[in-house]
């Protein structure tokens, strides 16, 4: 057994608005590749990469539990480094809008000597409308534990309660005309981008939720060759390119992402994001997603973007 509180474990709710500077940080974190995000922020809306991180926002603000001797430490549920994200954007979030984030730890497991946690969260706006739902799998430490056996506790990974596309939100998407032009086989590729340490630090806007993304000394202590870009940061280059092609709000009305980070994006390395359209029906557009690094693939995933109203997927 892995130990820890019984699952699912309800988390302490966190009330917004989001910290000042996160939208500007999103733009700065993209460097010269931020046109799609700039257009969205100009409309007064929060970029999708910021909204993707609502589970991390919740986990980073959980009460700290005392350790013997009076020290405070983070709870074992803290998200660490993302390895998988399942997220649905149900409706746009306005900049400075009061929000409430709730969630629960639903799983913990060990694999190949490393520990992971699975957390589900929901974010609603001040009027109660659903903004985002997500299920995040986080690696709790890069360092392996000798003798730690593979195990799983909690809700199974294939559980039906995880997020899916929200067709009911599609009728509010102002980008439907552009999306209707998508054809199977279309490939949307972003420019080759360098993810510099300065961009990673600017994106965090002075926060220290996870300094392995911004502090070389902390990254080295955790066994990394250099700071690594956060999962939502890597995904943001792909999302920004899709927004540039299909319109600023294209992803914020029911789109569902299921992505896995399969490699580290080290500071000052280069990436190339791309999406390939694999399905177009009257109801949705489906894409295969990837971010390629200098030597290996960094991200793989799928996106389903609903085109017609209906019930949640």
48 cis-preceded (ω within 30 degrees of 0): no
pLDDT > 80? residue 12: yes
The burial class, CB within 10 Å (0-12 / 13-18 / 19+), for 119 is buried
> Mean pLDDT, the chain, as a whole number?
89
Q: What is the pLDDT of residues 274-295, one digit of tens each?
A: 999 999 999 999 999 999 999 9
Show the beta-strand stretches assigned E in the chain. 9-10, 14-15, 65-66, 72-73, 81-89, 99-111, 114-125, 130-139, 151-154, 187-189, 193-195, 256-261, 269-280, 284-292, 297-306
Q: In this predicted structure, what is the pLDDT of residue 163?
A: 87
pLDDT band of residue 102 (cuts 50, 70, 90) is very high
Query: How does DSSP classify residue 213?
Result: G
Cα–Cα distance, 177 to 173 (Å, whole number) = 9
* Per-residue pLDDT tens digits for 135-163: 999 988 777 889 999 999 988 665 556 78
Lowest mean pLDDT among 101-105, 217-221, 303-307: 217-221
Owner of token pair 């986080």:
138
Separation of alpha carbons 176 and 179, rounded Å:
5
The structure tokens listed for 27 are 């733009």
CA nearest to 253, candidates 155, 75, 130, 84:
130
Q: Which residue has the higher pLDDT, 123 or 75?
A: 123
SS3 164: coil
Domain regions of the chain by residue span: 9-306
Confidence of residue 216 (pLDDT cuts 50, 70, 90): confident
CATH 3.10.129.10 fits 9-306, yes or no: yes
- Quote the tokens at residue 45: 């809306």
What are residue 240's phi and psi, to 5 degrees? -60, -40
Mean pLDDT calculated for residue range 255-263: 97
What one-character-per-residue DSSP string does 114-128 give?
Answer: EEEEEEEEEEEETTS
pTM (2 d.p.): 0.91
Q: 31-84, pLDDT tens digit by residue?
A: 999 999 999 999 999 999 999 999 988 988 888 755 434 433 333 333 468 899
């Amino acid at each position: 057994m892995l130990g820890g509180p019984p699952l699912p474990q309800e988390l302490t709710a966190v009330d917004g608005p989001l910290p000042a500077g996160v939208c500007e940080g999103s733009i700065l974190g993209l460097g010269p590749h931020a046109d799609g995000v700039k257009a969205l922020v100009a409309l007064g809306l929060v970029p999708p990469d910021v909204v993707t991180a609502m589970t991390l926002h919740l986990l980073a603000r959980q009460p700290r539990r005392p350790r013997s001797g009076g020290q405070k430490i983070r709870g074992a549920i803290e998200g660490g480094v993302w390895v998988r994200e399942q997220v649905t954007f149900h409706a746009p979030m306005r900049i400075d809008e009061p929000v409430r984030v709730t969630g629960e730890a639903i799983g913990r497991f060990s694999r190949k000597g490393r520990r992971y946690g699975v957390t589900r969260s929901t974010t609603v706006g001040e009027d109660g409308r659903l903004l985002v739902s997500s299920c995040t799998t986080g690696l709790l430490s890069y360092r392996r534990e000798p003798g730690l056996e593979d195990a799983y506790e909690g809700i199974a990974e294939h559980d039906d309660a995880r997020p899916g596309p929200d067709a009911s939100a599609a009728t509010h998407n102002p980008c439907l005309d552009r999306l209707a032009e998508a054809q199977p086989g279309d490939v949307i590729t972003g420019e080759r981008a360098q993810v510099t340490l300065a961009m990673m630090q600017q994106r965090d806007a002075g926060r220290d939720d996870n300094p392995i993304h911004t502090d070389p000394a902390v990254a080295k202590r955790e066994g990394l060759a250099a700071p690594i870009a956060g999962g939502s940061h890597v995904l943001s280059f792909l999302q920004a390119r899709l927004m540039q092609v299909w319109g600023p709000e294209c992803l914020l009305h029911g789109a569902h992402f299921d992505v896995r980070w399969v490699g580290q994006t080290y500071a000052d390395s280069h990436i190339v994001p791309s999406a390939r359209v694999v399905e177009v029906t009257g109801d949705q557009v489906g894409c295969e997603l990837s971010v390629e690094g200098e030597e290996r693939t960094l991200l793989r995933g799928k996106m389903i973007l609903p085109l017609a109203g209906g019930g949640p997927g």
